[in-house]
Amino acid sequence: MTKSGINFMIFLLILSCTSKVQTERKMKTTDKELTYLALGDSYTIGESVEESERWPVQLSKKLTSGGIAAGSPRIIATTGWTTDELSSAIKDAGIDRTYDLVSLLIGVNNQYRGYPFETYTKEFTQLLNTAISIAGNTPDKVFVVSIPDYGVTPFGKKKDPLKIATELDQYNATAKEICETKNVTFINITDISKMALNDSTLVANDGLHPSGRMYTAWVDRIYPEVKQLLNNN
């Protein structure tokens, strides 16, 4: 083989190795699973539904099927938690890492217990700041979900549905305003929750919490907005 031929073969070998390294690097980047932390109360932990029906779990699966590999979400949420209880739980969790995506849905128990509205405003703001911090101080990696209207459920109908709806509208309007000041996406699902008024399949067997089918409807609303956020980062 001539000297020029040998040089050409060496060139091809180097090109092949370079291409292989680039491909492996791309695969490693692509295969990295999205880390997701969901913060909230009974609506986030999915009271009265199977684990697979929880909306954060459904969202992760939908993201994966849509081309964004998402691992199982870490959920810090318990039925009955108010804003201060969630805040304490986050501190107790000792979170020592950042997450690619953080969601927050909290406040219904503040309203249910009749806590001062000013308390919610203050503590929700603090929780949102915490969520942003956990997301690496990147507001675009955080989203807030509105509080559903439980006044349309069998449980809520025995209370004062109009009072519940009016107060939760105030909670959600304030949460949205706070989100806007911090450039955090606010996703409204309250209108979807009201569909339970005429569709019992959207309510869990406990007569209060959303069913898996309701959570699926939430995810259909949440998914495109979250996917857009992730594509922008």
DSSP sequence for 93-106:
HT--S--SEEEEE-
pLDDT at 137: 98
pLDDT tens, the chain, 233 aa long: 555 554 545 444 444 444 443 433 333 334 589 999 999 999 999 999 999 999 999 999 999 999 999 999 999 999 999 999 999 999 999 999 999 999 999 999 999 999 999 999 999 999 999 999 999 999 999 999 999 999 999 999 999 999 999 999 999 999 999 999 999 999 999 999 999 999 999 999 999 999 999 999 999 999 999 999 999 88
pLDDT at 5: 52
**Pick from 69, 86, 73: nearest CA to 32:** 69
pLDDT at 15: 45
Crossing angle (nearest 10°) for helices 161-181 and 117-134: 40
Name the phi and psi angles at 145, rounded to 5: -105, 135
pLDDT at 77: 98
H-only helix segments in the chain: 3-31, 42-45, 55-65, 83-93, 108-113, 117-134, 154-157, 161-181, 190-193, 212-232
Q: List C-alpha distances in Å: 186 to 4, 46, 128, 147, 217.
A: 64, 20, 11, 11, 17
pLDDT at 61: 98
pLDDT at 50: 98
**Pick from 208, 226, 64, 65: nearest CA to 143:** 226
Rounded CA-CA distance 191/220 in Å is 13
